[in-house]
Amino acid sequence: MLNNIKMSIPILAGVLLLIGLVNTLVPKEFFSKIFTGNRALDPLIGALFGSVAAGNPLTSYLIGGELLKTGISLAAVLAFIVSWVTVGTIQLPAESLMLGKKFALLRNGISLIMAIIIAVLTVLATGILG
């Protein structure tokens, strides 16, 4: 048990430092510039960028809300915020070290695809239910 705790401390410190780095190097305005306006491609772009972003999910809602106002499709915004909380590219080294490389890669890969599917299904279901 102590070994597990000792092993996790440098990993957690590394992840926190990486999050600090990404939050500093990637300004929030950057996200509004990455979408193309293509309704088929934007959910994929949203999911990809959500997966490399890090930080409080609240930030993703704020960014998502602003993106909607600028005309970005709802599916793209939802893929972005779902991927933000379900995929962790920055945490991938930590997840690999503690839960296994294959597990971490598969879990994050599947979650990335699912973020797009969930986003599209949510938009469709919201439309159907009026």
Partner 1 sequence: MKKIVQKIGANWLFLIAVVLVYLILGLWNLQLALAGLEVFLGLLKKILPVLGIVFLLIFVSNLFLNPKTVAKYLGTGAGTRGWPIAVIAGILSAGPIYMWYPLLGELKKKGMRDALIATFLYNRAVKIPLLPMMVYYFGLKLVVILTILMILFSVLNGLLVERLTTQN
Burial of 99 (0-12, 13-18, 19+ CB in 10 A): exposed
Q: Give me the least distance between CB of 36 and partner 1, in Å please.
A: 22
Whole-number Cα distances in Å, 73 to 14, 40, 53, 101: 35, 10, 19, 34
Encoded tokens for 112: 């990335």
| Contact status: 10 vs partner 1 (CB under 8 A) | yes
| Contact status: 17 vs partner 1 (CB under 8 A) | yes
Distance CA 53, CA 113 (A): 16
Residues 45-64, interacting with partner 1 (CB under 8 A): 57-58, 61-62, 64
Pick from 32, 36, 38, 126 the residue near partner 1 by CB under 8 A.
Answer: 126
- At 28, the amino acid letter reads K
Distance CA 79, CA 44 (A): 7
Pick from 44, 52, 89, 107 the residue near partner 1 by CB under 8 A.
Answer: 107
Residue with the two structure tokens 């070290």 = 97
| Contact status: 30 vs partner 1 (CB under 8 A) | no
DSSP 89: T
| Contact status: 27 vs partner 1 (CB under 8 A) | no
The site for partner 1 (CB under 8 A) is made up of 1, 4-5, 7-8, 10-21, 23-25, 57-58, 61-62, 64-65, 68, 78, 82, 85-86, 88, 91, 93-95, 97-100, 102-103, 106-107, 110-111, 114, 117-118, 121-122, 125-126, 129
